[in-house]
Structures are given as C-alpha cells and as structure tokens.
Amino acid sequence: MPNAPKIELVQGDITQQDTEALVNAANSHLAGGGGVDGAIHRAGGPAIMGELKEKYEGCPTGSAVITGGGNLKAKYVIHAVGPRYMGSPRDAALLKSAHLKSLELCTAHNVKSVSFCAISTGIYGYPLEEASPIAIETAADYLKAHPEIQLIRFVLFDSKTYQAYKTALKELSASGSLENR
C-alpha cells in the first residue's frame, strides 16, 4: 500500500529541493525578478525563461503556468502569480487560486511531489499570519481529493516564515482537518 500523502515543512533553499516540481512566486509578466523568482531562474538557467517567452505571454494573478526545470533537480517549475496584498477579501481568493492552479498543474503533469515557496509573502506584502493558513488549507483540501500527489512540501526561507507555516499546520491539525491522511 502506498504511503499516505503528506504536507511537509522545511526551512531552506527551494532551488535545492529534489521534488518533481517547484512552485515559483512569479509576476504576471513572467519576466523574472528578485527573491524566489530570481533564485529559481539563476539556478535553473536560461532554458526556463526561454520556455516562458516561447509558450506564454503572461499569467493572470491567481493562476499558474508550467515549464521544464532547466538545470534544477526538479523536472518542472510551476510559475504561480499570487496577489499583491491590498487587505481585501479578494486577496485571499487569489492566493488560494494560485495554490490551487499550481496543484492542478501537478495533477495534469502526473507530478507526485512538489515544493512551494511562501507565495506573495515577500515583496507582494502578504502577511505571513494570513497567507500561511490559506496555503496549508488549500494543500490539505487538495490532497483529500487527489491522493496521487504524495508530497506537498513548503520550503520556507527564514525562521519567521517557517514558524508561521508551522503554526498554521499545527492549527489545521488540531481542528481535525488533517485526519485520515
């Protein structure tokens, strides 16, 4: 019997992960940038940007597109566009959608393991205490309906981000939402 799907948290560098796919925090122009986006493009090499330019003219906020992984260990990079935080209820819907569209791309490409960064929590200003429960809950809900994905890993760059996601995961577990996994 296969292992039950799981959600995992690690503090570290997303570009070093050995999952089949990495989820990049991209901008809607898919033009590269700083933070996680810049790190993934530097580590993955020019093939990733070349494929983005060839296949896509951009990506709306709340959605995602997929490319090969270039020089990364991951076979794929999923470029998810989260919202710039404005404090409106729409922000949460768009952040959830960015995670959901990324997971749907995993299913469509038969990806069994994926690493997410903390989408929208850097320069886009989404507060960690609001973003982390959205990310964790979306992942948990998706795994309930899609056990073909065996691992959703959140790779969190610093201890503050790691702690916020750890708290969100603990609260979701305490509520019983992660039972029967």
Give per-residue pLDDT as tens, 36-59.
999 999 999 999 999 999 999 999
Domain assignment present for 111:
yes
Domain assignment present for 180:
no
Per-residue pLDDT tens digits for 67-79? 999 999 999 999 9
pLDDT category of residue 2 using cuts at 50, 70 and 90: low
CATH code at 18? 3.40.220.10
pLDDT category of residue 12 using cuts at 50, 70 and 90: very high
Distances (CA, A) of 28 to 48, 96, 109, 122, 167: 16, 16, 22, 15, 30
Averaged pLDDT of the chain: 94
| Structure tokens, 20 | 């089949």
Domain assignment present for 91:
yes
For residue 85, pLDDT beyond 70: yes
Domain assignment present for 181:
no
Give the per-residue pLDDT at 177: 60
Residue 5 in contact with residue 143, Cβ under 8 Å? yes
pTM of the model: 0.94
Residue 116's domain comprises 6-174
Annotation marks residue 91 as catalytic: no
pLDDT category of residue 1 using cuts at 50, 70 and 90: very low
Give the per-residue pLDDT at 174: 85
Out of 13, 37, 91, 141, the active site residue is 37
pLDDT category of residue 180 using cuts at 50, 70 and 90: very low
Domain assignment present for 40:
yes
Per-residue pLDDT tens digits for 131-174? 999 999 999 999 999 999 999 999 999 999 999 999 999 998 88
Q: Please give the tally of structural domains in the chain.
A: 1
Domain assignment present for 1:
no
66 Cβ contact list (under 8 Å, min separation 6)? 21, 76, 77, 78, 79, 105, 109
Give the per-residue pLDDT at 181: 35
Give the per-residue pLDDT at 178: 60
